[in-house]
Structure 1
Amino acid sequence: MMDPELQNEKRRYLDNEVLTLTIQGAHSTRGVPVYTDNRHSEPLKQFVRCRLPELGSKYRGGSVSDLKHIQNIEGLANDLTAHFHAILHGQKFRIGISQKLLNLYLKYQWVLGWIPEPPHCLFDFVVIRKLKLPQRISWTEMDSREDYLILVNAVRKIAQHAGLSIASWELREWSGPSGRGTTSK
């Protein structure tokens, strides 16, 4: 029988790793800065380490609507802007970075079996390129609900055509031969 204290330690370890990977992934912005000076980013990252688990707990029961999910993304961006505007490039934490933080965090939580399937997937360069949109939307520069909804609606259409949910479609694309992950076939 597994020691409950050891189980808790394992969970805390995985929680920490998930948060580290999430923050690193969302800050990989290919030359579009998040901060005015990266040397002052640590307090924001610590804030995110507290805020993401709070937001993630809202998804444990499942059935988070598109509207509520988008409000969570906007709320995270607004909270980070309010607390850290002085260190942020343009004095604002953009929706594109916020969606990647929350959506990537939820993806890890889902894949680990800690929450039900999230309502959306993360949107980064690779996912957006697969949508073949007529207009250019950059996740690193995106800062409007309207642009985010364009991405959600485009991926939903593709996922439904494949008989998948949004999150399942993105996971398969990422893991498949044309994605970034590797397959073991």
Structure 2
Amino acid sequence: MNQSKSNFLKKVKTNDKDRASKNAVQAALSRCKTYSSENPRDRKKFRDDFREMVVNLSKKYTTSVSQSKHEINIVNISNVLSQKHGHILVNGRLRIGQAQKALNLYLKYLWCLEHLEVIPPNCPLDSIVLNGANLKGCLWTRLDCIETYNLWCLSVSKHAKVNGFASAQEWELQTWNANA
């Protein structure tokens, strides 16, 4: 597992928490149309607030966090940032798919950097993971329903276990390394 973590960090060229938080937010925003405004200052403030929320929430993950609490954190990211920055977001909303991607990816970075002793509650759901788990046609970039997110997480976990992995997070790490 340590080799897989090391390979991931080499591929993404990240070896510190600051770079990891920037990368996580960038990854969550780069695959879909996020902004309805062209104002660069508004966008920067939104990204800074997004990063700050993800980093602050990650501090709650020093011990194991339940799936339901993790889902609440994802919904809170989406709702708080939508309320604060809705005026610059498409349809006035940061989608659940984008919130989960940033939080889960940042937790993955922390886990790989050995800043988290416990395995994150979920792996980041993106096209590599969803397609790899035979959830073709499921688009994380359009996901805005926490119940659907939970169903996808359960499907990815089942897929990982059927394929001999102890967790979806370990399966995702190897799958992402092989396909990115």
TM-score, reference length from structure 1: 0.83
- For residues 117-150 of structure 1, give each alpha carbon's deviation from its aligned partner in whole angstroms, at most 9, with x where no partner exists: 101000111111112137x321111100122022
Gaps of 5+ in 1: 1-12, 181-185
The answer to whether the Cα contact below 8 Å between 1:120 and 1:167 also exists between their aligned partners in 2 is yes
Question: Which structure is higher in helix share?
Answer: 2
- For residues 64-91 of structure 1, give each alpha carbon's deviation from its aligned partner in whole angstroms, at most 9, with x where no partner exists: 1111111111111011111101000000
In structure 1, what is the equivalent of residue 101 of structure 2? 100
The answer to whether the Cα contact below 8 Å between 1:119 and 1:166 also exists between their aligned partners in 2 is no
The answer to whether the Cα contact below 8 Å between 1:33 and 1:89 also exists between their aligned partners in 2 is yes
The answer to whether the Cα contact below 8 Å between 2:132 and 2:175 also exists between their aligned partners in 1 is no
CA distance in 1, matches of 2:100, 2:120: 12
CA distance in 1, matches of 2:35, 2:66: 31
Q: 2:54 aligns with which of 52, 56, 67?
A: 52
In structure 2, what is the equivalent of residue 156 of structure 1? 157
Gaps of 5+ in 2: 1-14
Matched, 1:110 2:111: yes
What percent of counterpart residues are identical? 32
CA distance in 2, matches of 1:152, 1:165: 11
Give RMSD over aligned pairs.
1.5
CA distance in 2, matches of 1:51, 1:150: 25
**Structure 1 residue 49: deviation in Å?**
2.4
TM-score, reference length from structure 2: 0.85
- For residues 95-127 of structure 1, give each alpha carbon's deviation from its aligned partner in whole angstroms, at most 9, with x where no partner exists: 000000100000000000101210100011111
> What amino acid is aligned across from residue 21 of structure 2 in structure 1?
L
CA distance in 2, matches of 1:93, 1:175: 28
CA distance in 2, matches of 1:149, 1:50: 24
- Map 1:7-156 onto structure 2 (within 5 A): 14-29=16-31, 32-38=32-38, 39=40, 40-61=42-63, 63-115=64-116, 116-133=118-135, 136-156=137-157
